[in-house]
Structure 1
Amino acid sequence: MKQINLYSDGSSLGNPGPGGWGTILEYNGKEKELCGGQLDTTNNQMELKGVIEGLKALKEPCSVQIISDSSYVVKGINEWLAGWVRNNWRNASKKPVKNVELWQEYLEVSKPHKIYAKWVKGHAGHEHNERCDILARTFAEKLKEE
């Protein structure tokens, strides 16, 4: 099984507002950059969308380490998701989980893979995280100008 590092970041100008996501897939010393966005979105939605789109780009089952500065995404994957599913998409406070459609899409695209998410401090000089931030912000700014 291939070992992939998936670096991802999201950005929203206004929260909600125009947003972008940036993702880097790293395998065997090679990297592939992906980016996209939406006109009316939130930062958390773009953080999660970047992970989803990165996983969609994988062509076979892989062992994937997701590296993100979003504690929402990392804790969602590593800690909260199983409980949300078990509790019919309700959080610990019995309230509906936010962004449930995106979390359901994540579950679907993550099925073939072995996944672990790792948090990194944002804007702290982590090369791939900084690059993903630039990809996400650039896409969001482009949408804002249109």
Structure 2
Amino acid sequence: MIEIFTDGASSGNPGPGGYGAILKAGSHYKELSGGFRKTTNNRMELLAVIKALEAIKKPNQTITIYSDSKYIIDAIEKKWVYGWIKKGFKDKKNKDLWLQLMEYFKLHQIRLVWVKGHAGHPENERCDELAVAAAKQPALPADLFFEAEAAREKLF
């Protein structure tokens, strides 16, 4: 059984953003974080989950993901994302990340649990600290998909 805790943050939406994740399995504990110069909170929430799942090397694991993102939890639990996929993400954002995330749902048995953000949950609070610190790092890389999509939207 693997537990994953995640959070994303951005200063401005869009703005500099970061993600934080904690993986726990028995006595193993790992923290992950990273950031981008211009992105959105929802992208960082998704990326936190993706990066945590990416760190799991063996397929067919039983995983519980704790997130304060209703965007992620509801999209999967209420099956909205499956409709988005069928419609090619017409009028929906973050197609690149949703497609990556859903590939992990094919590899593992994943259960999602919503936790209230900024409510004293120790791992959620730590993930928030990681995400905010990552967003404040100097010389952050570009979130290439987001910046390219934002540029395309300005054309129309």
> What TM-score, normalized to structure 2?
0.83
Taking the aligned partners of 1:107 and 1:63, their CA distance within structure 2 comes to: 15
User: What CA deviation, in whole Å up to 9, does each residue of 1:61-80 have, x standing for no partner?
Assistant: 21111100110011122222
Question: Deviation at 1:145?
Answer: 8.8
Question: Deviation at 1:84?
Answer: 1.9
Taking the aligned partners of 2:113 and 2:47, their CA distance within structure 1 comes to: 16
Bigger drift between 123-132 and 106-115 goes to: 106-115
Question: Deviation at 1:117?
Answer: 1.1
Give the match's secondary structure for 2:107.
coil
> What TM-score, normalized to structure 1?
0.88
Contact 1:8 1:22 in 2 (8 A): yes
1:74 aligns to what? 73
Question: Deviation at 1:144?
Answer: 7.4
User: What CA deviation, in whole Å up to 9, does each residue of 1:32-77 have, x standing for no partner?
Assistant: 0000111110000000000000000001121111100110011122
Q: Mark the runs of 5 or more structure 1 residues left unpaired by the alignment.
A: 91-95
Residues 143 and 117 of structure 1: is their aligned pair in 2 closer, same or farther, counting only changes over 3 Å?
farther
Residue 66 of structure 1 aligns with an amino acid whose one-letter code is I
Q: How does 1:1-146 map to 2 (within 5 A)?
A: 3-61=1-59, 62-79=61-78, 80-90=80-90, 96-143=91-138
Question: Deviation at 1:82?
Answer: 2.0
Question: Deviation at 1:5?
Answer: 0.8
Question: Deviation at 1:120?
Answer: 0.4
- Root-mean-square deviation (CA, aligned residues, Å) is 1.8
Taking the aligned partners of 1:28 and 1:106, their CA distance within structure 2 comes to: 24
Taking the aligned partners of 2:75 and 2:84, their CA distance within structure 1 comes to: 9
Give the match's secondary structure for 2:120.
coil
Contact 1:20 1:140 in 2 (8 A): yes
Moved over 6 A (4+): none
Q: Mark the runs of 5 or more structure 2 residues left unpaired by the alignment.
A: 142-156
Contact 1:84 1:97 in 2 (8 A): yes
Identity across matched positions, percent:
47
Contact 1:66 1:116 in 2 (8 A): yes
User: What CA deviation, in whole Å up to 9, does each residue of 1:92-136 have, x standing for no partner?
Assistant: xxxx22111110111123321111111100001000000000000
Give the match's secondary structure for 2:136.
helix
Residues 137 and 145 of structure 1: is their aligned pair in 2 closer, same or farther, counting only changes over 3 Å?
same
